[in-house]
Every structure is written in C-alpha cells, then in structure tokens.
Amino acid sequence: MLKVEIRPDWILRDARGTPTALPALLSLLTAVSETGSIGKAAAARGMSYRHAWGLLEQFSAQFGAQLVHKVRGQGTLLSPLAEKLIWADRRISARLSPLLDSLASELQQELARVLAADAQVLRLTASHGFAVAALVAQLGEQGVTVDIKYRSSTEAVAALARGECDLAGFHLPLGPFEAAAAAAHRLWLDPGRHAFLHLAYRQQGLFVAKGNPKRVRGLDDLVRPDLRFVNRQHGSGTRVLLELLLADRALDPARIIGFDSAEFTHAAVAAYVASGMADVSFGVETAARRFDLDFIPVCRERYFLACDKAVLDTPLLQSAREAIASATFRAALDALPGYDGSASGTLETVF
C-alpha cells in the first residue's frame, strides 16, 4: 500500500519575492554540526565539497552573515545564526508533526478506499508519542493499515466513547496519583464496556539543559523566578499529571513562568529547552535524550490503549493485540530511553 508522508519546508524570499527552499541547507548544517567538517558533511549528504561550499556561501550572502567558521583544533563549527536555524527547524518539526501525520493518515486512507475498497483499517486515536509511533510501525510491517489521529488523552477517550476510533490511548501514573488522574477519563471510559490493553511503562520527569546549568533538583524549583518553563497543552495527560504533582506540593502554577504555554508533543517542549528558549519542561525521558538534554525522573506511569470489549476478538483487534504483545514490539520499546515493554499486550484493570 502507498504510504503518505507530509513534512514542513522553509521557504526564504528575497526583496524581489524570489523563493529559495531551505531543506538542503538545513540538512548540510546538521551534518556539519555532527561531523565538524564540511567535506565529511557533504559526503554524508551525497553532494560534492564544491556544491556544499557553494550552498553555504549562497546562503551566507542572503543572510548577510556567516553560517560556519573554522576553529583551530575543533574543525568547522556552526555560527550562532546556523545554530538558530537548526533549532528553529527542529521546533517546527516537533510542533507540526502530530498535525501533519494525522493529515497524511487521512489522505492515505482516502487513497486506500479508492485503490482497495474492501481494505480494513484500524482507527487509532492517541497522543503523539514514541510507543504509539513504534506500534504504528510494527502494525505496518504486519500489513495492518492504521488510520492514526493524534489527540490529547482526553480527546482520545472521548472519541472512543463516540465510536470514532477502535483504540484510544491514555496514560496513568503509578502510585498515589493514579486514582485522581483516572478520574479525568471516567466520564468517557466504562470498565463494563471497555477493555484496557497495556502498551508500555514509561518514565516522566523534568527536562533541563545538558549539565543542568540552572541546578534544577525537582518540581519545587519550578517556582523559581530565574526559570522559564514550557508546558504541554490543556487536556494532555502529561499536563494533568503535572498539575496533580504540583497540587500535592502546594505549588501555585501561577508562580511558574511559562506555565500557561501550550505545546502538543514531548519533542516540542524538549526542543524549546534544547534551543535555550526555556530552561525546564516536563515529559517522557525519550524526548529529553533525543535532544541531548539531562533528565530528572519524577514519576513512572502506564500507557494504555482502550477499546470496546465487544470487538476484542475481531480479526483487526486480534492483529493489534498480537503486534503489541510481540517480542519485536517489546524490544522496540525497550530500546527507547525510559520505556519498558515487559507487560505490553496484557489486559489490565484500570478503574
């Protein structure tokens, strides 16, 4: 089956309105950052040294500032402008990925209905996360077509209650806050009607810059006036969990600089901290590690996929259950920092 992908591109226009696309430059700058050499970066991106150098010169002229400079003993380094371009691109990608992936899935299903009218599709609604992405990939390898829609946990379980999806993702902390977090979903989930498949254990905590220059030790530090925080959106399970943790410590969110901000993915808040636009955020460990941040563990939780009990034994749901319980999927989860696939695929009691 055809797979649809939609990715954001930057377009630069000069004073005359002439457009220039930035993907090639951003890819080259990333390679320079990783290799410390224009020649090695060019080879990694499949271009000649002459072409790579010409690209850097072209955009340096357009920006009116150098993008790279050589430092004795350190090779070729990116200029502050080049660093800012890369981080801006990563923030854009992290912020737009849920929307673009959902649109790509919708378009893919439209094409599938035309090309194979009788094809069965598994409808999955969940927050944008690493375990869910791993599951979609696993199902794809098994030939299961997935219509993925990325929504907050609250929106996902509401969609399941309305019959708009087959599986809905949500997560609950282990320990004293589990009941309070579950209460947010009780309006939509009925243990008599719904079954709960364990997808993964995962670790939530604080993201801080490499080396923890602000000396953040825990949640109590969030109210410090020298810290800028970046938050998840209202309705996300991660934000609900954070609000419960703060309330337990009698910490007023109004005292946290940036608490009213709203980003839609763990990767997006990690990108903000990594780019220096925020000092601290809260999310899953994998996002912190992928952006080379330090991580302070706070809470372990279980991520579930809810479905109607009536469809548990249908071929489509059986395929999904087999994928979640497979050794391949569990190994994929175990490879993600902070994730644990030891119980993936088991049916558990939530309420």
| Domain boundary assignment for the chain | 11-86, 120-340
Residue 229: enclosing H or E segment and its boundaries? strand 229-230
Selected residue with higher pLDDT from 147 and 339: 339
Per-residue pLDDT reduced to its tens digit, 153-185: 999 999 999 999 999 999 999 999 999 999 888
Q: Which fold has domain 120-340?
A: D-Maltodextrin-Binding Protein; domain 2 (3.40.190)
User: Is 324's pLDDT higher than 80?
Assistant: yes
- For residue 325, the model assigns a pLDDT of 95
CATH for 11-86 is 1.10.10.10
d(CA 251, CA 222): 9
Confidence category of residue 115, pLDDT binned at 50, 70, 90: low
**pTM check: above 0.75:** yes
Q: Give residue-wise pLDDT tens across range 125-148.
A: 998 889 999 999 999 888 888 889
pLDDT at 87 over 80: yes
Phi-psi sector, 321: left (phi>0), alpha (psi -120 to 50), beta: alpha
Is it the case that residue 195 has pLDDT exceeding 90?
yes
10 Å CB burial of residue 139 (0-12, 13-18, 19+) is buried
SS3 146: strand
Same fold, 11-86 and 120-340: no
99 φ/ψ angles, rounded to the nearest 5 degrees? -65, -45
pLDDT of amino acid 160: 97
pLDDT band at 114 (very low <50, low <70, confident <90, very high): low
d(CA 282, CA 271): 12
Across 231-250, average pLDDT: 94
